[in-house]
Structure 1
Amino acid sequence: MPAPDPAPETPPALPVARVAVDVPLAHLDRLFDYRVTADQDEAAVAGSRVRVRFAGRLRDGFVLERVAVSDTDRTLAPLHKVVSAEPVLTPAGAALVRGVADHYAGTFADVVRLAVPPRHAASEKAAALKPDADEPPWPEPVPGPLGAYRDGAAYATALRAGRSPRALWQVTPSAAPEADWAAGFAEAARACVEGGRSAVLLAPDQRDVARLEAACVAVLGRARVVALVAETGPAARYRAFLAALHGRARVVVGNRAAAYAPVRDLGLVALWDDGDDLWAEPRAPYPHTREVLAVRAAQSGAAALFASYARTAELQAYLERGWLRPIAQDRVAVRHAAPRVRVNGDDDRALARDPAARAARLPHEVFELVRAALPAGPVLVQVPRAGGRLALVCQDCREPVRCRFCQGPTTLGSGLGHEQLTCRWCGRPQVDWECPICGGRHVRSPVVGASRTAAELGRAFPGVVVLQSNGEARLEDLPATGAIVVTTPGAEPPAQGGYAAAILLDTALLLLRPDLRASEEALRRWFAVVALVRGGADGGSVLAVGDSTGRALQALVRVDPAGFAVRELADRADAHFPPAAKVVTIDGSAPVLQEYVGLVHTPTGTETLGPVPLPAREQLPGSDGEPLLRLTLRAPVREGNALVRAAKEVAGVRSARKSEGAVRVRVDPITLG
């Protein structure tokens, strides 16, 4: 008797899958329709990974949605394979990827690589078999630092009630408990979870992430917290990603890689120290994590908390637009909590004791402070990192050499058989340069080293332990015993109970970096040192060696990052630079930029700067060693979206034409120098 015919397969109710194909070409930055076969129907869910045939090649992709009818009249090719039925790209995640790509003139394919980690099959299989756990017990609540700040307790209460406040927490720099930003983030996360939602908390480097994770575990318990960082390896990163996706972890801590974490019921995004350059993604389209979280908070309706010791002009712009509200201590509390900060030679008495105080690199006040503080604990000495030319200054009076046309930083480059002084922003040569302060005509490039400083202090204080900490050999926590620690910016180790004193040497060198954000970055570095010193009530003291008339040092002495940010933003507005303007830089060879200028349709009010030569180290893949130039376009903020769209349209036209020559487009780059 012949076998009965198999029952016909039931066709899918939604036979069309709209797929985001991994194709980075700008003119193909859209969804493509594919047919879902009956055997793929159950697995090809929205958010799943698939393989499709595209232009004769198999490529990866994500199913973003299933629909009944295609928009095209062509016969649809079937999905080649459903790689995994795990919906790793949620609808909210896809919307965030699209929003970030549009904000930075990039493609969906470029951003989704940042948002979804590579699949780890064994971790995925283990996560599918893991049973749902019961609600873990809560640790006993402990008071957090937010209550020490005006509106801090109200912020936590709003989170607990399910509301979505957005705030800038101005952390007072000191080693006191109320300056513990990690504990404050954990306090906010617990309030958010108690309100029935989840939180994403970010810190710039692995050291800060570990501190933040420990604080969250202490406040919320181990089961509710997971760390999502690329440094842990593909398996651990994917397990953390799935824990957030499945709702087993309610709080995700991490660095740049965790900004897109797929938590359920997102209620809070928080970021520590947005001025750190680690937040800038080095891969196209070069998004900044601060802006990614801002886009995510706006799309999801989540609360936002940005915190730092200093304050960037970007966060100040958010405040002035009303998108953020401040959480800060009043001036009386700041003066009590922060260490006493002063500049050498800042009064007549100090100058009478040491007439050369304002000219010497190591004035007498430095030795006095070290001698007085060592019996109470360790002393930190920060020295700018030694290296190549940091900036150019007048040889006679040390005034920074600025372009006479646009006030940009200058550099010495080869030209006409000799070194020629040229602006790094507008490219104009500075012929017959003369110092506007003293009339000098000679320039120099100051360079300083930490090793020499350590040797000098070692000779001055025989018998005292002198330690060095830098990026290559960074010290860990120090005991609260007398020692001198010489460190470069960013490598300062914390000391138990805080440092008794700190000294900031060569402050002018940080200010002389040929970059738009030099003063902002210098103040951020200095406040990071101030935050390691005991509070003023405990005798903590900080001495800065430099010119006390400088704006950044005055803000440091007052411990006034807000006032500095207000003036910095005003200066940016006068100079038409971010965040008071939208800036797009285009790097490429001369023929590429010539083509670009011919294609771009800039909005009204757009200015064009350059092109100017780029250093040889900034090569592009596929440039074949050709000299690179940079073209800068800037427009008013109100025309910013139009300028970004124009840049993206040019990328689409060039990719459709298959134009030769590599090009790099950046929107509001963090370095403009």
Structure 2
Amino acid sequence: MSSSEPAPLWDLPEPSRSASEPKASAPRARKPAAGAGKAAAARKAGPRKGAQQPAPELPVAKIVVDIPLAHLDRTFDYQVPDKLHEAAVPGCRVRVRFAGQLVDGYLLERTDTTEYERKLAYLERVTSSEPVLPPSLHAVCRSVADRYGGTLSDVLRLALPPRHAKAEAEPASEPAPPPEVPDVSAWSKYQRGPAFLDAVADGKPANAVWQALPGEDWPRRLAEAAAVAASCGRGAVLVVPDHRDLTRVHDACVALMGESSVVALIAGLGPAERYRRWLAVLRGGVQVVVGTRAAMFAPVADPGLFVVWDDGDDLHLDPHAPYPHVRDVLMDRAHATKSSLLVGGFARTAEAQLLVESGWAQAVLADRTELRAAAPRVTPVGEDFDVARDEAARVARLPAVAFEVARQSFAAGLPALVQVPRRGYVPGLACGNCRTPAHCRRCAGPLALPGGSVDGAPKPPACRWCGVPETAFRCQACGSVRLRAVIVGAKRTAEELGRAFPGIPVRTSGAAEVLATVPGHPALVVCTPGAEPVAEGGYGAALLLDGWALLGRQDLRAAEETLRRWMAAGALVRPGASGGRIVVGAEAGLSVVQALVRWDPAWHASLELSQRRELGFPPAMRMASVEGTPDAVASVLDDLPLPDTGEVLGPVPLGDFDPDGNTSRERALVRVARPEGKTLAALLHDAAARRDARKAAEPVRIQLDPLELI
């Protein structure tokens, strides 16, 4: 290990001796042991028989150890023994002795010299000679760690799947031949669409934000873009939010390029199959990768195109440190490899809008004529928060126009989609007299109706936290024993609609059972946001209920997320010229409703971005969240030098308070101007390194660009 680096954490100096303690006596000189002179002479003569010898060439290995401590986020030098000279190749997995323990690591490179002045420790063994960490992938992981203020070992755990020896021993498959250039005439509906594909075909870097038309066969369009890159001998990485989208895009790519040219990467494959497919990509046997979040690090050879679909979906944010986002990782990869990036979706996020307004990416849009021909007709229904929560307004939850639209869909032989923001039966209850939220007497958790019956009687309310039934509710505010529904879930909605439309089958999608497709026959399909199945031939109508529940969330991205969910559901409806209708339960004067009526997410994203600039929120600013115990958060903030534009917001308490008015966790937000984002990331990394070096006992969660700020 390099001598210029500080000693490991656990090698602490002995405590200083106080004046009252007796001094240790000097050790007495001992007689040389018999044969000591011979041993010294043997050492001078050379290494003893059986001792390890350094490799004849490039004997020094630069190793990154798999230890997620910020102050150890660097390489360490080790000696390569001659017996491992052939096996220790750059990028392979190794085992080394670190601070007395045997740990995993990756060999980054081999050199002739080292700056370490003492004797280097030898590599213990080479776990595998497979170069799983090539220089290009290491550079990506290092860039992601620096962007988010994390450690390289944390990013490597996200980027490299666990090793499976049997899969590794299998021979590499032959590279698939480049597919033929596909027919991309469908992209001509979009301005700058053909120009973007021409740039991909020519190997020129081009970045685009694509707004897909309602009813667009977007998996086919993404497959066409990937086939353009593959036809030129370059690779493509397509990242989608969930397994249903993955299945659709993978099938489209296989139909266009053949099964040998495409591989699907998803965590649910199992360790052996996942590693087998990942190795096929690493060894250059596959050109196109389709996957969920983990595929953003797929090591494709000579990448030409990176695609992220629906970048506003929170599934694109990795929940593990350092919490990278797919869009940002693919941006870094596209910039580093001079490749093209396509950010696609029916809606548009403020982050994607910033890419367009900054000139880094171009908008790929259809003209208004194409849009009017493809979009369904949208009818807003006014409802405010008080009316939506009132017992007397229950009939207004599904107004007359919604019944009419649903009947028209059934008359045309088509299913109708019903989107409900909350799952469950009745997930929220309140006092029927004073409207005070109903809580559990045992743990103060919220009460809900689970639905169903026991021995023919409806199940009583139960706590959503501890699950204890509440058979004798009494309001603590007014003493009433009456309960009323505050929020109606998907199960209760399906039950009510089944009675309202007798003879029409009702299907639900969400939670434990998410439907991928439904037949194109008259039916009511009740689902939660994100669980909308694709209907054969499209839906005849979509009823977007309880808009107040989505828009009323205490979240910076509430309006943006609401529009994204509405548009994802509305895109499954037939065009207005074919009778497709959308009824949205929200006031027509809201900007998010107007964006849906006009089907203009770019206008709404521009409005969102301008408001965040004015308020100083991401993506106009870069922001970091520091979360932990009050003492831990205070220690990080006290030890954090801020840039000139830096500002600390908070800390604010998280969770419940104890009887003394204290809380066990707090969170503070640190924001800086966007050009100083990398500086903030480096400062946070250094602060975490100092905490690790001090062996701070209380953990702190540091996250840059968090999705949830409120």
Bucket of the pairwise TM-score, normalised by the shorter protein: 0.7 to 0.9
Deviation string, structure 1 residues 150-194 (Cα, Å, up to 9, x no partner): 1212211221122121111111122xxxx1121111111111111
1:100 has 2:137 as partner: no
Match of 2:45 in 1: none
Choose which of 607, 613, 619 in structure 1 pairs with 2:653: 613
Choose which of 581, 586, 606 in structure 2 pairs with 1:546: 586
Give me the whole-angstrom Cα distance separating, in 2, the residues matched to 1:449 and 1:357. 16
Choose which of 127, 136, 141 in structure 2 pairs with 1:83: 127
Superposition map of 1:574-593 within 5 A: 574-593=614-633
Counterpart residue type for residue 157 of structure 1: D
Counterpart residue type for residue 201 of structure 1: L
Counterpart residue type for residue 41 of structure 1: H
Superposition map of 1:72-221 within 5 A: 72-126=116-170, 129-130=171-172, 132=174, 135-136=176-177, 138=179, 141-143=182-184, 145-174=186-215, 179-221=216-258
Given that 1:390 and 1:513 are in contact with CA atoms closer than 8 Å, whether structure 2 keeps it comes out as no
Choose which of 360, 368, 382 in structure 1 pairs with 2:396: 360
Give me the whole-angstrom Cα distance separating, in 2, the residues matched to 1:609 and 1:378. 49
Match of 1:38 in 2: 82
Match of 2:409 in 1: 373
**How many angstroms does 1:130 deviate by?**
3.9
Counterpart residue type for residue 381 of structure 1: V
Given that 2:54 and 2:81 are in contact with CA atoms closer than 8 Å, whether structure 1 keeps it comes out as no
1:497 has 2:541 as partner: no
Give me the whole-angstrom Cα distance separating, in 1, the residues matched to 2:99 and 2:237. 39
Give me the whole-angstrom Cα distance separating, in 1, the residues matched to 2:172 and 2:423. 52
Question: Given the superposition, is the C-alpha separation of residues 599 and 59 from structure 1 closer, same or farther in structure 2, using an over 3 Å criterion?
Answer: same
Deviation string, structure 1 residues 417-473 (Cα, Å, up to 9, x no partner): x99xxxxxxxxxxxxxxxxxxxxxxxx994222222222222222111122222222
**How many angstroms does 1:143 deviate by?**
4.3
Counterpart residue type for residue 145 of structure 1: A
**How many angstroms does 1:389 deviate by?**
12
3-state SS of paired residue (2:348): coil
Give me the whole-angstrom Cα distance separating, in 2, the residues matched to 1:169 and 1:445. 41
Give me the whole-angstrom Cα distance separating, in 1, the residues matched to 2:251 and 2:60. 46
Question: Given the superposition, is the C-alpha separation of residues 149 and 603 from structure 1 closer, same or farther in structure 2, using an over 3 Å criterion?
Answer: same
Give me the whole-angstrom Cα distance separating, in 2, the residues matched to 1:227 and 1:566. 34
Given that 1:454 and 1:466 are in contact with CA atoms closer than 8 Å, whether structure 2 keeps it comes out as yes
**How many angstroms does 1:547 deviate by?**
0.7
3-state SS of paired residue (2:701): strand
Given that 1:345 and 1:358 are in contact with CA atoms closer than 8 Å, whether structure 2 keeps it comes out as no
Superposition map of 1:238-637 within 5 A: 238-344=275-381, 360-376=396-412, 377-386=414-423, 446-615=486-655, 627-637=664-674
Aligned length, in residue pairs: 604
Match of 2:268 in 1: 231
**How many angstroms does 1:606 deviate by?**
1.8
Give me the whole-angstrom Cα distance separating, in 2, the residues matched to 1:140 and 1:645. 44
Give me the whole-angstrom Cα distance separating, in 2, the residues matched to 1:387 and 1:584. 34
3-state SS of paired residue (2:56): coil
3-state SS of paired residue (1:665): strand
Question: Given the superposition, is the C-alpha separation of residues 170 and 357 from structure 1 closer, same or farther in structure 2, using an over 3 Å criterion?
Answer: farther
Query: Once the two structures are aligned, what percentage of the paired residues are identical?
Result: 47
**How many angstroms does 1:524 deviate by?**
0.5
**How many angstroms does 1:131 deviate by?**
5.4
Give me the whole-angstrom Cα distance separating, in 2, the residues matched to 1:221 and 1:214. 10
3-state SS of paired residue (1:525): helix
Match of 2:9 in 1: none
Counterpart residue type for residue 354 of structure 2: A
3-state SS of paired residue (1:367): helix
Question: Given the superposition, is the C-alpha separation of residues 655 and 504 from structure 1 closer, same or farther in structure 2, using an over 3 Å criterion?
Answer: same
Give me the whole-angstrom Cα distance separating, in 2, the residues matched to 1:390 and 1:610. 32
Give me the whole-angstrom Cα distance separating, in 1, the residues matched to 2:428 and 2:685. 34
Match of 1:438 in 2: none
Q: Indicate the larger mover: 139-148 or 281-290.
A: 139-148
Give me the whole-angstrom Cα distance separating, in 2, the residues matched to 1:390 and 1:106. 38
Give me the whole-angstrom Cα distance separating, in 2, the residues matched to 1:609 and 1:211. 43
TM-score (norm 1): 0.85
Q: Indicate the larger mover: 103-112 or 474-483.
A: 474-483
**How many angstroms does 1:616 deviate by?**
6.2
Give me the whole-angstrom Cα distance separating, in 1, the residues matched to 2:438 and 2:137. 47
Counterpart residue type for residue 250 of structure 1: Q
**How many angstroms does 1:149 deviate by?**
1.2
Give me the whole-angstrom Cα distance separating, in 1, the residues matched to 2:266 and 2:544. 33
1:667 has 2:704 as partner: yes
Give me the whole-angstrom Cα distance separating, in 1, the residues matched to 2:607 and 2:341. 25
**How many angstroms does 1:669 deviate by?**
0.5
3-state SS of paired residue (2:297): coil
Counterpart residue type for residue 136 of structure 2: A
Contiguous gaps of at least 5 residues in structure 2: 1-48, 384-391, 446-483
Give me the whole-angstrom Cα distance separating, in 1, the residues matched to 2:163 and 2:551. 45
Root mean square deviation, CA, Å = 3.0
Given that 1:344 and 1:358 are in contact with CA atoms closer than 8 Å, whether structure 2 keeps it comes out as no
3-state SS of paired residue (1:39): helix
TM-score (norm 2): 0.81
Question: Given the superposition, is the C-alpha separation of residues 281 and 445 from structure 1 closer, same or farther in structure 2, using an over 3 Å criterion?
Answer: farther
